[in-house]
Structure 1
Amino acid sequence: MGQIERRDFIKKAVVGSIGTILPYGVDNEVFDVKLPPENHDKTQITAGKKKKVIVGGAGISGLSCAYELIKKGHEVIVLDASGRYGGAVLSVHDGLADGLYADFGAENFTRPGYKNYWKYIEEFNLPVLPYFHRENRLTRIDNIWYTDEMQKEKYEQRIKQLGGFNKSESRYLESNPSSNLEMLYLKPYFDKFSDEYQPFGIGYDHLEKVPVSEIYKKGGASNAASSILGGNNTSALYAIWQAYIRHKRGYDDDFELFHIKGGNQRLTNELGSRLGTRIKLGCKILEIKNGETGVTVKYREFGKEKEISADYLACCLRTTALRTIKITPQLPDEKIFIFDNLAYDQTTRIVFQARSKFWLKDNTTINLTFNHPALRTIWEVADEVDTKRVSLMAKAPGGTNPLRTLEAFRELYPGNRSNIDIEQVLVKDWSADEFVNGCERHGFGGLGELSKFWPHIMTPHGRIHFGGAHTDNRSWGMEAATNSANRVALEIDQA
């Protein structure tokens, strides 16, 4: 590929909204939203009082929450500051040739797991394909490329050097993957759990400030297992709770990866089409008044301030947005702490379009893990599209220059570099996104941290109910988002 000018080389996948400066005024609005067409499942409509609900945020959580609410017979309006709905669920087609596409956000989902997400897949009859980006992988470690088998050998050598596993660990690993070794020591604690959303009050509260490494030691873990599992800085309560959730959802067995043919944004598009003009885009929430009998939201639309009132607010906004919104009366201190301290992964996703599957000339794979500051992983996407061209997805830390990512790829590619025929680059830096700053939220597994965040992160306050992927018990993207959405819809319906 010849030299390309920077302005032509880096394409922006998302068009930012255009700010408009207009005189400020205040309008008062009332709901005039009609119920959805009579093609919804009437069995889900409740017989209780119809409620007026404002949904803050039109990401997948806000969309699915609003959709569940209208199916239950409630009046809904959705406000989102962006000019598009879908939030972090973003599929890109523009800028790619021959029908190729890629998912800049929400790249895959699993089975088992994603129960509420699969509900929508089946209801909307969306075509699903297996996702193979973790298969036949090469990983670069200390400047050497390792196959999965070579990594397994390296792992086994390390175990031997550490003295080997004990008899109970060896027996367990005969029928379980090594990645699930922690379950041997954590499963005995599962019996006391009855609700995957409640880790407290079941007799383990004291374990919040005990490192999980002590649980392994107490269970008789070998030196090898203790070294592999670590956990000196991870709360035992948090580790046990998260392991229980994975176990309940089937993640401690083998699971498969999938994606929606044509891009995962097809699901949010389906939700959005059913909500129609109930979604008001370009409407930034400025203030929330949490009253005893209702909630009032002030927002800005084309520079003009407006107000709307409802019975409840389903707040599916990220904490990064909530920090900028005035809420009266002030929320409890534990909520403010969450807004100020919750952190999100910062990732740049880069799509390379190539003229061919050039790596096949080198008899190698394109599922590569680089462990490089400018390039973590790369793999092929949209491989079902009938074209000789290919789209490749790369991950890098937030703020990474895509030109540097391409340089790293060329430098470290395990085949003949002259075969690389990349012709196009698209980039989405989530750390720089005005509306969806960052990706999945960080956990709160440090010693003594869990009670600072949980369950306050999801607890309603007055007429405000809190949703979004960051409010679920396990932050797995679209699974967490749809879980929280269904929870909030049920809370408001039953309020």
Structure 2
Amino acid sequence: MTPDIMNGGRGVSRRSFLESLGGMGGSALLLAGMTALGFDIASANAAPPELGEGGKGKKVIVLGAGVAGMTSAYELSRAGYDVTVIEARAFAGGRCQTARKGFKLTELGGEAQECDFDDGLYINHGPWRIPYHHHSTLHYTKLFNVPLEVFVNDNDASYVAFNKGTGPLAGKAIRKGQIAADARGAAAEILAKQVKQGALDQQMTAEDRQLFLAYLTREGYLSADLAYTGTDGRGFEVNPGPGMVPGPGKESTPYPLTDVLHSKAWGVLSSVTGYEQQRTMFQPVGGMDQIAKGFERHVGKLIRYSTLVKKYRQNDKGVEVTVSGPDGKVETLKADYCICTIPLSVLRQMDMGVSAKFKAAIGAVSYALVGKIGLQMKTRFWEEKHFIYGGHVYTDDPDINTITLPSTGFQSQKGVLLGYYNFGASAAKVSALSPKARQDFAAQGGMRAFPEYADNVETSFSAAWHRIEHNLGGWAQWDDEGRRDAYPILCEPDGRLYLAGEHLSYLTGWQAGGIESAWQQIAKLHKRAQAA
């Protein structure tokens, strides 16, 4: 998952704060801000803890076969621990899911869906992109030979389709690169001319002013007289070509700054990308679930699938987990320790024999309402007619939010794009629709950018994570109070129970958060087991 809300709706998110730093002070200020927040320039860990082989003779039960659970199982079993993984679903991966032909999902209170995309087509309705600095995730993709390809996370050729602005650009699909060129070019021209007129004489030396003007000229594609008249980077009205016709071509005409401002399309721009949202990212070839399958090849024999946790108890000698298997048989499993990776939204409803303080902390976090839909299109019109290869189409409709074009299968006949990625109240509203109604809604939503959109929709698959039984939300949303009071409690064991998952990290909503949380907890468990 890719969270847009990191702070439970309170105050400014870390992501927004970092983006504002980048916009004000460039990369130096951005990096300083990231360091101050404890982010530095990468996820916290690049490799799992060295456990050695000291786990022989000790048993661990892992609850949940998501990425955090399988990380725990893989590393502990390598260290000699006797590991059993309990998984409620018939498959491993947790939220690391990919819908392709035959994949089934029934949301709580909803209709059964079975994905009927053409062979080879899919949608990652859970996590779907990996930043270059998530070293922990990339550690396992390399270790398990999961091939990666580029995820196009930003594309100047893509459209901004805003309806809520005013002026001649409102309601039009405009190339993002044109908006960027014209907004920055006009701003650079205004600032450069102010510098020439002495506006910064008191703040800068003569040398600084000359260097600043050189920067503004380059940044804004300004002419020698400091005017912005456009750039070939925003495209051509007549493309250059052979001979005299079309010959050199004709550059497109910039939009007036006032039109750009009133369109509000500049809202998608930032001089430096946010920490989580790099311009180019990674995705596994063939779907995000290839990461889960990579883990499963190594720990699948340890997993008991379609098995529900009914009760958890512990004492000073060990733990007992009562489970119900696929045949309905109830039994109690015993071990020395337990690692629980079940989302807190689900765990708070379970019969857990933990301390009152720990139980209260489990209930102190909310989970994101998140919805996605994959639309199979019978042609790749966005490539054939609009020449857009990957990236996002931005809208100001929160029920649609972004439309994302596939970063794979370029120039093939068909493709599956992300028709909406909505959050909060919008996700709740759209998730109340039937799967077919969601498809119709998404089909109409794309018409603001592409006139061919609705006629090309063949089929769809949608997921509302807050309505999926074993998740009940997309990712944890800690507020400041929860981070202060409950989060530290859950990061430490309660008796012999250790929690792990993206919810116990500052990378909530990312697989790296779950992996690194598991690394931290198994290191604590191992140290304790060795001391015992």
Q: Contact 2:153/2:278 (CA < 8 Å) preserved in 1?
A: no
Residue equivalent to 2:396:
371
Name which of 65, 68, 79 aligns with 1:58.
65
Residue equivalent to 2:458:
423
Alignment of structure 1 residues 472-487 onto 2, 5 Å: 472-487=505-520
> Which amino acid is the alignment partner of residue 337 of structure 1?
A
Residue equivalent to 1:288:
312
Distance in structure 1 (CA, Å) of the matches to 2:453 and 2:317: 68
Q: Contact 1:410/1:417 (CA < 8 Å) preserved in 2?
A: no
How far has the Cα of 1:325 moved from its partner?
Answer: 1.8
> Which amino acid is the alignment partner of residue 312 of structure 1?
Y
Distance in structure 1 (CA, Å) of the matches to 2:489 and 2:448: 46
Q: Contact 2:93/2:292 (CA < 8 Å) preserved in 1?
A: yes
Residue equivalent to 1:390:
415
Deviations 1:103-146 (A, max 9, x none): 1111011112x222111111111110000143233233324444
Unaligned runs of 5+ in 2: 1-47, 102-115, 165-170, 220-265, 267-272
- Measured on the aligned residues, the alpha-carbon RMSD in Å equals 3.8
Distance in structure 2 (CA, Å) of the matches to 1:355 and 1:144: 24
Q: Contact 1:62/1:485 (CA < 8 Å) preserved in 2?
A: yes
Distance in structure 1 (CA, Å) of the matches to 2:179 and 2:363: 40
Distance in structure 1 (CA, Å) of the matches to 2:397 and 2:495: 47
Alignment pair present for 1:69 and 2:76: yes
Deviations 1:195-249 (A, max 9, x none): xxxxxxxxxxxxxxxxxxxxxxxxxxxxxxxxx9xxxxxxxxxxxxxxxxxx9xx
Name which of 75, 97, 105 aligns with 1:90.
97
Name which of 124, 144, 147 aligns with 1:103.
124
Distance in structure 2 (CA, Å) of the matches to 1:355 and 1:158: 42
Name which of 125, 135, 142 aligns with 2:145.
125
Report how many aligned residue pairs link the two structures: 379
Distance in structure 1 (CA, Å) of the matches to 2:71 and 2:289: 13
Residue equivalent to 1:410:
444
> Which amino acid is the alignment partner of residue 120 of structure 2?
G
Structure 2 vs 1, CA of residues 138 and 338 (structure 1 numbering), >3 Å: closer, same or farther?
farther
Residue equivalent to 1:29:
none
Q: Contact 1:347/1:439 (CA < 8 Å) preserved in 2?
A: yes
Structure 2 vs 1, CA of residues 78 and 57 (structure 1 numbering), >3 Å: closer, same or farther?
same
Alignment of structure 1 residues 171-320 onto 2, 5 Å: 251=275, 256-301=280-325, 302-320=327-345
Q: More deviation in 380-389 or 121-130?
A: 380-389
Q: What is the DSSP-based 3-state SS (H/G/I as helix, E as strand, rest coil) of the residue aligned with 1:81?
A: coil
Deviations 1:443-495 (A, max 9, x none): 323xx453123322322111001101101132141010111121122122111
Q: What is the DSSP-based 3-state SS (H/G/I as helix, E as strand, rest coil) of the residue aligned with 1:368?
A: strand
Name which of 503, 507, 515 aligns with 1:470.
503
> Which amino acid is the alignment partner of residue 122 of structure 1?
K
Q: Contact 2:55/2:81 (CA < 8 Å) preserved in 1?
A: no
How far has the Cα of 1:158 moved from its partner?
Answer: 9.4
Unaligned runs of 5+ in 1: 1-40, 179-227, 229-246
| TM superposition outliers: structure 1 runs of 4+ over 6 Å | 155-161, 163-168
Larger gyration radius, structure 1 or structure 2: 2
Q: Contact 1:101/1:382 (CA < 8 Å) preserved in 2?
A: no
Distance in structure 1 (CA, Å) of the matches to 2:478 and 2:173: 31
Q: Contact 2:338/2:498 (CA < 8 Å) preserved in 1?
A: yes
Name which of 336, 359, 380 aligns with 1:336.
359
How far has the Cα of 1:277 moved from its partner?
Answer: 2.8
Structure 2 vs 1, CA of residues 157 and 347 (structure 1 numbering), >3 Å: closer, same or farther?
farther
How far has the Cα of 1:393 moved from its partner?
Answer: 1.6
> Which amino acid is the alignment partner of residue 126 of structure 1?
V
TM-score, L = length of structure 2: 0.63
Residue equivalent to 1:140:
161
TM-score, L = length of structure 1: 0.68
> Which amino acid is the alignment partner of residue 506 of structure 2?
N
Q: Contact 2:61/2:83 (CA < 8 Å) preserved in 1?
A: yes
Q: Contact 2:311/2:350 (CA < 8 Å) preserved in 1?
A: yes
